[in-house]
Chain A
Amino acid sequence: MINIQNVSFHYKKKSPLFNDFSLEVESGRIVGLLGKNGAGKSTLLHLISGLIQPKSGKINVNGFVPFDRNPNYLADVYLVPEEFGFPSISISTYVKAFSPLYPNFDQLKLYGICEEFELQITSNLNKLSHGQRKKFLIAFALSTNCKMLVFDEPTNGLDIPSKSQFRKILVSSVTEEQLVIISTHQVKDIDTVIDKVVVIENGLIIYQENIDEITQKLYFDVLPSITGIKNVLYHEQCPVGQKIIVQATDGNESSIDLELLFNAIINKKI
């Protein structure tokens, strides 16, 4: 569980990124952290992971203060950063070196995911492509079985089949005790896996809602034209006409179009 209370943060010689920021997220969820470039998504992930210290306010994750970097906390948190580097060793050596540091590490799970991602465990990590290395990092993160998994732009650099594999593997491997936070601006890549949306802009939460609540309140549709349609909250042109968001009525539910929702939120239509 993440509990952030009145946190303020700014980088050296820069204007405040977060000011009196608060957020609470329960375990057992896959949270989509959305926002434009520079909104503070990565910074928030770094605060939650313990890489940076808030200037004021409190952060509590699973009973720990992240910046204390208590080893028991670090053994239960795994961050997949947007940019990453590996030593020049094979996958199997990397696993031998790092897996003992995570008490709940599941080697069979890792080899299973590697197989799905078509990764050879004898391969040298630095001889793999960026996408392959990212897939390995995702596989390793999921195999740690940490209580909190943090993904920063996980689908960047992945090809289309790998993106869909990522979604499938993520959903099948995450348990009720885990909390997964996925920060991305490629919202389409994660719209079928998340069950809570948090949108931040200029260091503020401008929207947070569970997916089931969103689908109860809002109805997403694609129509040839919006002529005659009442109460359109937001619409966007698409090749076949208009993508629209309207208020859901009579218990009608639709699949969520996360990109459309995100644009509606950013344009302050919702």
Chain B
Amino acid sequence: MNSNKFFSFSRFYRLLMNDVLINYKKYSLIIVAAFIMGFVVLYGSMPKLVYGGDTLNSWNRFDSSKYMNIFLASILALGVLVGSSFPDLGSKVKTANYLLIPASTFEKFFSQFFIRVICGAAIFLVLFWIDARLARAISVMQMVDVKTNLHYANAEQFIEKFHYGMIFWYDRVISYSTEAGSYPIEKIVYHKSIETWGISLFIVSIGLYLFSVKLFFKKLGLVKSILSLVALFFAMALFMVIFSHIFHPGTKGFDVSLPNYTLQNGINNIEFWLCLIGFVSPLFLLSMGYFKLKEKQL
């Protein structure tokens, strides 16, 4: 078997350069737009005034849960980039050109995966980190205490410093104590959580779904992929309802009976299955996409 038929580094490099030379303006624009959008959203969400009551929850703090919400919303933008992979398969004319580019199907598939998923995700993570740090730095400088109408010296306490650990690796438990006339003092305790991994892998699965399923549609690939994803979720929900009625006869209407229990080491069964599906489905989706590209005809 001639391995050169499937993969050659020099050919792959030439293919990547081909893509970059053709699309560098588009990619640059996406990076700049993502950076600005991320900054605007994060900066706009961060508090500029310190106010609140005696309990920590009543304070206008900006903590990991708020970062998490914005992070997940931003991932949708990455999903659009991933879902717009194989842009040359949108029309018959471009498809012919693309299929006849002298590179193997694997190289073509992997180059899109490399640019859209690997590089896209890496750049996204870096941009989000810079945006979060920059937005925090500026917000902290601008933060004013409503009681004194002066810059609040301990502003950094109200906007948590962003790091990926707070999203991917840990759950945060906060306890606090207050003294009369002072601001709350927070105590943060971290412990490992499988839930965030489950969510992350689930998001990756959705991205890879959009990446691979697009190959099945000739026109409006991204829109059709999203619609098919919605349909898939509905189908899944329907199956869960049906199975709930079969295995748990007491289930009412459209309720889902999902037994929730701890497996071991504090790992929840639903989190575990979410992780497992998230880990296995990309392997299936990627191979499905590869073979679809291989068999693609004009």
Q: Which residues does A use to contact B, with CB under 8 Å?
A: 46, 49-53, 69-72, 74-75, 77-79, 81, 83-85, 87, 89, 93, 96-98, 100-102
Contacts and interface: CB of A to CB of B under 8 A. Distances in A.
A220 B187 CA distance: 100
A229 B94 CA distance: 53
Interface in B1-46: 4-5, 8, 11, 14-15, 17-18, 21-23
Given A97-B18, A97-B22, A101-B18, A74 B101 contact: yes
B201 to A, nearest CB: 33
Contact of A89 (B22, B93, B97, B100): B22
Interface residues of B, number: 29
B298 A72 contact: no
A51 B17 contact: no
B240 interface: no
A182 to B, nearest CB: 17
B90 to A, nearest CB: 10
A102 B102 contact: yes
A79 B21 contact: no
B103 A101 contact: yes
B96 interface: yes
Given A51-B100, A100-B14, A71 B107 contact: yes
B99 interface: yes
B297 A51 contact: yes
A84 B97 contact: yes
B175 interface: no
A85 B102 contact: no
B97 A85 contact: yes
A85 B103 contact: no
B91 interface: yes
Given A71-B11, A83-B93, A85-B91, A101 B297 contact: no
A96 B21 CA distance: 8
Given A70-B5, A71-B11, A100 B17 contact: yes
A85 B105 CA distance: 22
B5 A87 contact: no
Contact of B96 (A70, A79, A96, A97): A79
A53 B103 CA distance: 18
A121 to B, nearest CB: 15
B104 interface: yes
Contacts, number: 74
A70 B97 CA distance: 15
Given A97-B21, A98-B18, A101-B18, A69 B94 contact: no
Contacts of B99: 50-51, 69
Contacts of B102: 71-72, 74-75, 101-102
Given A71-B11, A101-B14, 18 more contacts: A46-B96, A46-B298, A50-B99, A50-B100, A52-B297, A69-B104, A72-B4, A72-B102, A74-B100, A75-B102, A77-B100, A81-B93, A83-B92, A83-B93, A85-B91, A97-B18, A100-B18, A101-B18
Contacts of A72: 4-5, 102
B21 A71 contact: no
A36 to B, nearest CB: 21
Interface of B: 4-5, 8, 11, 14-15, 17-18, 21-23, 91-94, 96-97, 99-105, 107, 294-295, 297-298
A202 to B, nearest CB: 21
Best-surrounded residue of B22, B100, B102 (most CB of chain A within 10 A): B102
Nearest to B298: A51
A85 B94 contact: yes
Best-surrounded residue of B8, B104, B107, B294 (most CB of chain A within 10 A): B104
Nearest to A150: B100
A71 B298 contact: no
A205 B97 CA distance: 28
Nearest to B20: A97
B100 A71 contact: no
26 contacts: A50-B99, A50-B100, A51-B100, A51-B297, A51-B298, A69-B105, A70-B5, A71-B4, A71-B103, A72-B4, A74-B102, A81-B96, A83-B93, A84-B97, A85-B91, A85-B94, A85-B97, A89-B21, A93-B21, A97-B21, A98-B18, A101-B14, A101-B15, A101-B18, A101-B101, A101-B103
A81 B103 CA distance: 19
A268 to B, nearest CB: 32
B219 to A, nearest CB: 15
A260 B92 CA distance: 34
Best-surrounded residue of B8, B18, B91, B100 (most CB of chain A within 10 A): B100
Nearest to B297: A52
A71 B108 CA distance: 11
B106 to A, nearest CB: 10
A250 B23 CA distance: 63
B89 to A, nearest CB: 13
Contacts of B100: 49-51, 69, 74, 77-79
Contacts of A70: 5, 104
Contacts of A85: 91, 93-94, 97
A231 B35 CA distance: 81
A232 to B, nearest CB: 43
Given A51-B298, A52-B298, A69-B99, A87 B22 contact: yes
